[in-house]
Structure 1
Amino acid sequence: MPRSGSAARKLPKRPASALAERWTTVDGVDVFYRESATPVDTPTMMHVHGFGLSGRYLLPTAELLRDEFHTLVPDLPGFGRSARPPKPLDVPGLAHAAARFLDDRGVETATLVGNSMGCPVICEFAYHYPERIDRAILVSPAGGRHNQPLQRAMQQLARDGLREPPALVSVATPDYLRFGVPSTVRMFRALTRYPSLDRLLALRIPTLVVLGSRDPLMPGPERVREIAQKTDNHVLVVVIEGAAHAINFSNPGELANVIRLFMADKPIVDDPQSPGDAHSYEIHRGTLHPPSSAA
């Protein structure tokens, strides 16, 4: 992976989606990102990737939402095609980098959509920049005690790999190889020190949590619902039956449908445009969220 300040800004040979592929510089570090052609006065939605990965696996869902939101999908510093910063970033460092990336794009506020490790990054972003986040969408929010120690997390990832679409392998493998073993160990240690649950319960914005019923990295829906009930917040918990961990890649139609309904404060119903085994349903709706009977 190129170091900070690298002049080697190569774009992929073939675009991975309908989003434009671009480079910028954040704090002296080359950052690769993808962006929709939607007018900049459209509400911004930024997609935040997971552990060891780039934003590429988030593109199936991001692409479906590109006409409705000014869509940004960065590779955070140290991940994917982006350069490594001089000092490896922990969760707070990644949250600050995300804020400065939005500064670079001239974005004041945004809805943030995260998968896996991207969810703690969003929670930390909301902790430091509450005035800059409109809504939080936490898809498969891993990184807590359920994923510790590292050996257990690796076993969970191995089981999840057997449940994901085979096409994910060709997307994720180059990202993991770029990230490397030392970075994996360092980032895992940073996640174990991060107060994920405290930050989640401290959120004071409309928050959507999306779980896959076949995700081995997440506790069961009952445990998630128990946690959600500890805060009087705009927390809406939705299960996509049949999905595993990388929902943004494996079930983009169902997830995009849930996101649209959440953003419009409408009841969660299954997406008739995404037929198959997967279907979506609510398991918890916070008291401050509009009632499910809302039009």
Structure 2
Amino acid sequence: MASSSSRTTDGKPRRLPRHPASRLAEHWTTIDGIDVFYRESPAPSNAPVMMHLHGFGLSGRYLLPTAELLMDEFYTLVPDLPGFGRSGKDPSALDVPDLAHAAARFLDERGVEKTTLVGNSMGCPVILEFAHHYPERLERAILVSPAGGLHNQPLRRAMGQLTKDGPREPARMMRVATPDYLRFGVPSTVRMFQALTKYPTLDRLLELSIPTLAVIGSRDPLMPDSQRVSEVAGQTDNHLLLVVIDGAAHAINFSHPGELAHVIRLFMADKPIVDDPDSPGHARVYEIHRGKFHPPASAS
């Protein structure tokens, strides 16, 4: 359960944001001696658990638009992983395995045995590492704009991609992201990028043996083109569904929450992916790869 202490591990008063960022309740807890800030929905009766994992240098705040749309159907958790956002830092731990283990211990603290994980950007390698160490605890994996592969190396290339991505995101994204990036800092950025370049993303992806959804944006400069992504998806056994949101850039969870939540619902229900008529705008949702793990509902 959430810690009832009103003070952090270093004795400072614990403070929740003055203006809550969403309808999810905001709490503090302590994981391995580190103060962790997180958001949580009420737990609907018998609802499956869904935890959202943020990207590089960010907090869970930009994931909230999508998480809020799903909170009535899933017991929803959105933590700031250790070292990110409002959570405390562990100077000796800032790599993908550390974050995956921290995610598992956070679930332990919440009393959660199995979950579906929804990640954006860096959150996707964290999911893959979680699946590597705790396969029995992962129901499904949802990888949104997965980052950290060869396409994002070296650092100057990744920085150029991020620079291109900025103008493609909603202007309000900068008001959410800038405080997170400033809090994360340059030294942490360099260390985390080095950790991501060493991470065997493709190997871990090919290990997955659970239903997996990958969602990419057609305007995401951090991703290879859809043909290359489809080629990589084809190397998996039979369990990967790959969907494109036309017009989206990298932070799909923030910019296109209606479309993304719609795709997630269909995936979780093993239904064919169709465009969402209720999401306004010109974004179009379509699948470009489907394995045989979950055939469309209309298939015989």
Q: Does 1:195 align with 2:220?
A: no
Among residues 90, 101, 107, which one is paired with 1:96 in the alignment?
A: 101
Deviates more, 1:271-280 or 1:249-258: 271-280
Match of 2:182? Answer: 177
CA distance in 2, matches of 1:5, 1:84: 12
Q: Per-residue deviation at 1:37? A: 1.2
Tell me the residue number matched to 1:254. Answer: 259
- The one-letter amino acid paired with 1:30 is D
Q: Contact 2:54–2:120 (CA<8 Å) still a contact in 1?
A: yes
Among all aligned residue pairs of Structure 1 and Structure 2, give the percentage whose two residues are the same amino acid. Answer: 75
Task: Check the 8 A contact 1:143/1:192 in 2, yes or no.
Answer: yes
- Deviations along 1:106-164, one digit per CA (max 9) or x if unpaired, are 00000000000000000000000000000000000011000000000000000000100
The equivalent of 2:167 in structure 1 is 162
Counterpart Cα distance in 2 of 1:246 and 1:5: 34
Q: Does 1:213 align with 2:218?
A: yes
What TM-score does the superposition give when structure 1 sets the normalisation length?
A: 0.97
Q: 2-side partners of 1:267 and 1:219: how far apart?
A: 25
Distance 1:9 1:280 in 2: 42
Equivalent residue, structure 1, for 2:137: 132
Corresponding residue SS for 1:225: helix
Between 252-261 and 269-278, the greater mean CA deviation after superposition: 269-278
- SS of the equivalent of 1:18 reads coil
Kept in 1: contact 2:47–2:73 (CA 8 A): yes
The aligned residue for residue 33 of structure 2 is: 28
Q: Distance in 2 between matches of 1:6 and 1:80?
A: 19
Q: CA deviation at 1:231?
A: 1.4
Task: Give the residue type in structure 1 aligned to 2:259.
Answer: E
2:274 maps to 1:266: no
* Shift in CA distance, 263/44, structure 1 to aligned 2, threshold 3 Å: same
Q: Would the aligned equivalents of 2:8 and 2:14 in 1 still touch at CA under 8 Å?
A: no
Residue pairs, 1:113-128, within 5 angstroms: 113-128=118-133
Indicate how the Cα distance of structure 1 residues 40 and 78 shifts in structure 2: closer, same or farther if over 3 A, else same. Answer: farther
Change (3 A) 1:98 1:6: farther
Deviates further, 2-11 or 257-266: 2-11
Aligned residue for 2:215, secondary structure, equals strand
Shift of 1:9: 1.7
Residues 247 and 255 in structure 1, CA contact (< 8 A), matched pair in contact too: yes
RMSD over aligned Cα, in angstroms? 1.5
CA distance in 2, matches of 1:5, 1:125: 29
Matched residues in 2 for 1:222 and 1:271: separation? 23
Question: For 1:31, what is the secondary structure of its paired residue?
Answer: strand
Contact 1:5 1:29 in 2 (8 A): no
User: Shift of the alpha carbon at 1:33?
Assistant: 0.1
Amino acid corresponding to residue 125 of structure 1 in structure 2: F
Q: 2:178 is paired with a residue of what secondary structure?
A: helix
* Number of positions where the alignment pairs a residue of Structure 1 with one of Structure 2: 294
The TM-score with structure 2 as length reference comes to 0.95
Q: Kindly state the Cα deviation for residue 293 of structure 1 after the two structures are TM-superposed.
A: 2.8
AA of the residue aligned to 1:281 = Y
1:291: Cα distance to partner?
3.0
- Unaligned 5+ segments in structure 2 are 1-6
Question: Residue 19 of structure 2 corresponds to which residue in structure 1?
Answer: 14
Partner of 2:62: 57
How far apart, in 2, do the equivalents of 1:248 and 1:234 lie?
Answer: 23
What stretches of structure 1 of length at least 5 have no aligned partner? none
